């Protein structure tokens, strides 16, 4: 198997009108990744060394997206929608390169299991010319039935053409197939369009191959793996299935999810063993968590790196570039962006740290803000090891707080502070005896007068 070359032709030209979106259907996301990119990942996992994307609707947008998730893929535009076989033949230039195996896949089946593709390729290696991937839906109504005889697939019968006996068959066509590269173009070129719609159907190659005494067989994938997405409801269904799979895998790898159904992962979330995740946590793309971390409830994390034994949340937000080192803590209602929180440093509550470094062992008091943006440019705040930043302080960047520096509560710091220095940055307090009472009486009188005047108007 490993010595056989493989091309994956992924059909992604459909308009997806039922999605009711300007975005091409296959670019709608599952776990933060376009559904067609999930298909690409499955093809690669099954050993596909070549990728051909057949695109149509939103071609420019598709090419731009593909450059990110499949930079080595060739793209072929299907200018007219004349059926599935017509779509595959649009990639003729790629197919003609002489791959041993050709996988035909659909960009709107994001849950396809690489194992199902590998099984289909194995049957090609055993001598089959065409392998159709089938599945058993809970209700087969509307699906094409796979007609088998003596272990061979003889036809794919659309439901409207099925006999009453054939309608009882629960084994249905998932649409995907594997074709031996030596026969692929010959079979595709033999497909005609003498049907009600005048289209070229990929399924016709089953009978064409059988008529040429070539072996045609069917393999089986799970219903979930073959699930196609046509509308937003099915998109949500696929997201739920993907998340359920990922949660299960995380728990089996040693991660504790206290309420699994409330935790949402991204396609690339990395999370180490002995990490505990409390309820209602959302992981966006680009999150890496080492072992032994604790993620408290209602935290929102994306583009962040969290080292061993860190403590995050509850209600924390880690934005891209947040880098928490060993045993760092980011507590409740804190936001960290593009900043390093070094070993053992604490950002406990009600704080914003952006474009900054917080040195090892430093303590950031409640209500502290790094003022990193002047409306035009971003500036850096450097907080040294063991520094103490008092509550309700504003650090106006660019500014440096030296190692062991101490900032008095309520300070606005605009100048750098040397190591071990104490800095005050606030106005001197002034106390006027009796003035509070006088102000209350004045305000109460004004309010009463206003209320009386309002009543007189009525």
Q: Enumerate the active-site residues.
A: 349
φ, ψ of residue 294 to 5 degrees: the values are -125, 120
Closest to 31 in 3D by CA, of 224, 223, 241: 241
Smallest CA-to-CA distance from 133 within 185, 179, 73, 169 is with: 179
Using alpha carbons only, give the angle 201, 204, 210 rounded to the nearest 5 degrees.
165
Token digits of residue 195: 């049907």
Helix axes 35-45, 59-69, angle to 10 degrees: 50
Cα–Cα distance measured from residue 229 to residue 220, given in angstroms and rounded to the nearest whole number? 19
Contact between 377 and 357 (Cβ < 8 Å): no
DSSP string, 193-247: --STT----GGGHHHHHHHTT--EEEEE--TTTT----SHHHHHHHHHHHHHHHH
- CA distance linking residue 277 with residue 287, whole number of Å: 14
d(C-alpha 235, C-alpha 16), whole Å: 12
Q: Distance (Å, rounded) from C-alpha 56 to C-alpha 76? A: 8
Q: Is 171 exposed, middle or buried (0-12, 13-18, 19+ CB in 10 A)?
A: middle
CA distances from 359 to 16, 292, 350, 378, 434 (A): 51, 21, 19, 20, 45
Please give the full DSSP string across 117-176, using - where no structure is assigned: HHHHHHHHHTT-SEEEEEE--SS-TTSPEEEEETTEEEEEE-GGG--TTGGG---EEEEE
């Amino acid at each position: 198997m490993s010595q056989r070359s493989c091309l994956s032709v992924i059909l992604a030209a459909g308009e997806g009108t039922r999605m009711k979106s300007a975005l091409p259907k296959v670019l709608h996301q599952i776990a933060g990744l376009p559904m067609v990119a999930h298909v690409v990942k499955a093809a690669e996992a099954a050993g596909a060394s070549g990728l051909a994307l057949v695109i149509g609707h939103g071609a420019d947008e598709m090419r731009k997206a593909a450059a990110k998730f499949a930079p080595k893929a060739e793209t072929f535009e299907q200018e007219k929608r004349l059926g599935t076989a017509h779509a595959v033949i649009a990639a003729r230039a790629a197919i003609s390169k002489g791959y041993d195996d050709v996988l035909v896949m659909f960009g709107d089946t994001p849950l396809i299991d690489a194992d199902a593709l590998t099984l289909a390729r194995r049957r090609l290696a055993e001598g089959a010319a065409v392998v159709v991937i089938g599945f058993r839906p809970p209700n087969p109504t509307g699906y094409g039935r796979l007609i088998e005889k003596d272990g061979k697939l003889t036809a794919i019968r659309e439901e409207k053409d099925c006999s009453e006996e054939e309608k009882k068959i629960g084994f249905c066509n998932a649409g995907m197939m594997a074709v031996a590269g030596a026969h692929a173009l010959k079979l595709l070129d033999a497909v005609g369009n003498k049907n009600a719609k005048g289209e070229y159907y990929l399924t016709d190659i089953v009978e064409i191959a059988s008529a040429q005494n070539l072996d045609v067989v069917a393999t089986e994938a799970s219903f979930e793996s073959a699930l196609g997405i046509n509308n937003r409801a099915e998109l949500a269904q696929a997201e739920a299935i993907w998340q359920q799979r990922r949660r299960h895998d995380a728990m089996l790898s040693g991660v504790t999810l206290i309420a699994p159904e409330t935790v949402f992962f991204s396609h690339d979330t990395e999370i180490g063993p002995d990490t505990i995740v409390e309820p209602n946590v959302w992981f966006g793309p680009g999150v890496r968590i080492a072992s032994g971390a604790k993620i408290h409830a209602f935290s929102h994390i994306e583009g962040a790196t969290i080292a061993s034994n860190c403590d995050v949340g509850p209600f924390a937000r880690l934005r891209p570039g947040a880098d928490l080192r060993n045993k760092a803590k980011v507590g409740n209602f804190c936001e960290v962006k593009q900043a390093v929180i070094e070993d053992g440093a604490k950002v406990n509550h009600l704080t914003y740290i952006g474009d900054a470094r917080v040195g090892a062992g430093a303590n950031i008091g409640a209500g502290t803000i790094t003022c990193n943006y002047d409306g035009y440019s971003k500036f850096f705040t450097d907080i040294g090891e063991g520094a103490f930043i008092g509550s309700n302080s504003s650090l106006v960047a660019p500014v440096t707080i030296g190692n062991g520096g101490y900032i008095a509560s309520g300070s606005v710091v605009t100048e750098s502070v040397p190591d071990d220095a104490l800095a005050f940055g606030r106005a001197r307090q002034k106390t006027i005896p009796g003035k509070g009472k006088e102000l209350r009486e004045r305000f109460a009188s004004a309010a009463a007068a206003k209320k009386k005047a309002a009543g007189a108007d009525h």
